[in-house]
Structure 1
């Protein structure tokens, strides 16, 4: 127990925090009904968690180096548990969204410390084994989220997707305090609060702009203002990072084509693989009449194939170039998502199976390999930054994917409903938000099914294109081994990169 206790404690928290990125997907129709949530509300329930996690991840890693990684992990897990309790008790969408954001704060504190804790707990072959198990757990969590969410939602109600975090958190904190050794970075850098704030404002404003564009239009005052705020925040972030002695991320890393390509891959990976699933889940339940558990099981090809391929690739593809593994994986995700864009008014869940399975193969190839590719694209002293950056881009990609694909889907639904109702735009947003029942009688069933299929097809086409383009970028630009170290600067001596995943 004492030998492998740290691994169990860290993997419990990792699985839980990554599971919560996607576990809400199957519960969206229940939330829409129980809380009278709109499509924008549902998008924010998903997005705010991933956004906060992405925005705070690098800053949390720096803070953990100062205050202690075990302490940061335990405090983050406690905050995550309290926020989960609040989410389960929420009586309005505003409260749920705010508490999901608080969950993201706790998750960032946890995720930023996981690999550093394992690195300080194990050495040699034991460390390799521990990191391998952690990688498998990380890869499986997001894919299994919809399935477990369906089981909990149908069996106990949607609030239990949050309540289930409480006993897991208690066990994780108890084990962390008992068996995980404390560690710090003796050469810890100062926390870049200004950079963290600017990046958070940029990510939040950009996502808000896309979400509002879906409901108000791309040229609306709210969308335009939000885009301007996002642009100004990005400029401010760049200015801060160029001037500060110990930046959140060294922008000179983006001079390397390999590093840029890996970050693009991370952004597009989570977007293409998981960004359409919330709308797919709503379609399965509100259009096909499937229960939450059946809706979750319909997405099982993605989870099963990703888990199997991730387990086999570590053994069979050992030594293979990461650019080939990631590039082919992204091409599989793109192709699999394209294969899901073939729905019509008569389509059933089986129409998705082949595409989901192929996308799952891609997830199984990409997820365990991204972190290694990020580390190989930078000098060793920048490993911590690269590990944190790849996770930041992954979570940002998911949040932006959900927002962008929702906008694409509702736009296609609006076009498809022209002539079927006096207000196609309002009907499209109601339909995409899980309110098909409210439209029955006012809009023909056949028109609703055809419109939703058209919306999903449009979103899947955009997602598939993102996956294919990212795969090509990786195959063309990612190169190994890493470039030679450049001129020395402040060194961060971390045993294992913080926040890597």
Structure 2
């Protein structure tokens, strides 16, 4: 197989996986109010079908990335595709909100296996001077899924929300077979290395305790006993994790990734961007379907400008990154996102659709300018034997930011509106657009967007502080 042809084959396989996972999430997001009503589920359970999914990704992806560096990427990627497909069938058969939550959690394990390996597979296949373009194309396809998803979800709801999961099955079967047949294991795995079970255990439980404490604390009392206990557990285990990793011959997480300036600031800006932007789509869906009373199809169409703008800009920014570097592109992108969020801070029940579209376009352009160059700066500046864990850590920070974003936003909104009123607003239980509940929701929404704006500015500042490319002492480096 010619190397030049294989790189595009690898990109097609991993892009189908990205399309698969993002399409599933974006179609589900638009259906949340309908699922709440059909399964008679509370806001908390439905929110956790989204947050729990990202929580598992945050925790598992770094460990899976390390396993991939040790044993290879192809088998893990194909296994993830198959698991995601089977769990989609289980989600479609859910009879309660809790069942859906459990099966979505299983689905997130499959997604972790795909996501942890897809970026590394692309980086293995492409030469360094074409990596930005490849990642930009991948990001563009992801944006296509984000465009199609809400519209498709709104359309499929007419046949029942379960069809959102059923449609995953043919895509998953094709993608699993295509990846299994086409992918080649280019990475030479280090089978003589041992897996860091102590570090993996302390990281997994410590991160789980920390993220659960942060989300529960936002909805209850920060000083409540369960939250305090979880914070203590997190502090002890994450402290043990850092100690273990600095003294282990084969650590799960190579701490030099966080000690290198260009990588540490790229990771930190990823986290901050996740906090700034993670809840935007989630909040706008409930704004359009709840406060404005639009049907799911209309709401899906109104969300398109964000994804269309990101789709258009991602491949361009990726190619520009190959020529001019990531620092300025990523930082300017975050500032443009901040401009869009600044406009959303003024959102009202009667805001003009045109003004909202402009704000979403700006946020989408900024996201497209940030994502590809920032990812390229991480993956292009680590040696081959660290790509799996480098990609895993990037995903960990991105998803941790998104989990925190939704938790913070929902905590802000929950403080301004009663749970019963929120439930009624989200399932369209005869709550008018000018009601007290609707006004309270809008008030909380504006505060949430203000917080997002501040984090976006902070992310731009951090992104600009990244330094020169590191010099690694590694036997394997990218040509």
Give me the TM-score of the superposition, normalised by structure 1: 0.85
**Alpha-carbon deviations, 1:165-206, whole Å to 9, x = none?**
111111012212322224553324433333333333233323
The yes-or-no answer on 1:296 pairing with 2:288 is: no
Matches within 5 A, 1:121-132: 132=136
Give the length in aligned residue pairs. 474
Match in the other structure for 2:471:
484
Q: CA–CA distance in 2 between the matches of 1:9 and 1:454?
A: 44
The yes-or-no answer on 1:25 pairing with 2:29 is: yes
Matches within 5 A, 1:72-87: 72-87=76-91
Matches within 5 A, 1:17-416: 17-118=21-122, 132-138=136-142, 140-142=144-146, 145-153=149-157, 155-188=158-191, 189-315=193-319, 318-347=322-351, 349-375=353-379, 382-411=386-415, 413-414=416-417
**Alpha-carbon deviations, 1:209-252, whole Å to 9, x = none?**
23323432323333333333332332232222222221122223
Q: CA–CA distance in 2 between the matches of 1:179 and 1:377?
A: 27
Match in the other structure for 1:426:
419
**Alpha-carbon deviations, 1:109-132, whole Å to 9, x = none?**
122222444456667999887555
Q: Aligned pair in 2 of structure 1 residues 118, 321: CA closer, same or farther (>3 Å)?
A: closer
Q: Aligned pair in 2 of structure 1 residues 177, 474: CA closer, same or farther (>3 Å)?
A: closer
Asked whether the 8 Å contact 1:60–1:108 carries over to 2, the reply is: yes
Q: Aligned pair in 2 of structure 1 residues 67, 373: CA closer, same or farther (>3 Å)?
A: closer
- Give the Å deviation of 1:45: 0.5
Q: CA–CA distance in 1 between the matches of 2:223 and 2:405?
A: 20
Asked whether the 8 Å contact 1:286–1:437 carries over to 2, the reply is: no
Give me the TM-score of the superposition, normalised by structure 2: 0.89
The yes-or-no answer on 1:459 pairing with 2:459 is: no
Match in the other structure for 1:422:
none
Q: CA–CA distance in 2 between the matches of 1:19 and 1:352?
A: 23
Q: CA–CA distance in 1 between the matches of 2:204 and 2:45?
A: 20
Q: Which runs of 5+ in 1 are unaligned?
A: 415-424, 497-501
Q: Aligned pair in 2 of structure 1 residues 31, 202: CA closer, same or farther (>3 Å)?
A: farther
Asked whether the 8 Å contact 1:344–1:449 carries over to 2, the reply is: no
- Give the Å deviation of 1:142: 4.8
Q: Which runs of 5+ in 2 are unaligned?
A: none
**Alpha-carbon deviations, 1:76-105, whole Å to 9, x = none?**
111111111111111112211111111111
Q: CA–CA distance in 2 between the matches of 1:203 and 1:168?
A: 32
Match in the other structure for 1:469:
458
Asked whether the 8 Å contact 2:73–2:117 carries over to 1, the reply is: yes
Match in the other structure for 2:429:
437
Q: CA–CA distance in 1 between the matches of 2:152 and 2:199?
A: 36
**Alpha-carbon deviations, 1:332-385, whole Å to 9, x = none?**
122211211112343354442221111011111011111122246667764443
2:41 counterpart SS class: coil
Q: CA–CA distance in 2 between the matches of 1:317 and 1:309?
A: 12
Which deviates the most, 338-347 or 139-148? Answer: 139-148
Q: Aligned pair in 2 of structure 1 residues 243, 436: CA closer, same or farther (>3 Å)?
A: farther
1:59 counterpart SS class: helix
Asked whether the 8 Å contact 1:151–1:293 carries over to 2, the reply is: yes
Q: CA–CA distance in 2 between the matches of 1:261 and 1:387?
A: 15
Asked whether the 8 Å contact 2:136–2:315 carries over to 1, the reply is: no
Asked whether the 8 Å contact 1:70–1:183 carries over to 2, the reply is: no
Q: CA–CA distance in 1 between the matches of 2:267 and 2:130?
A: 29
Asked whether the 8 Å contact 2:125–2:186 carries over to 1, the reply is: no
User: Alignment partner for residue 14 of structure 2, among 1, 5, 10?
Assistant: 10
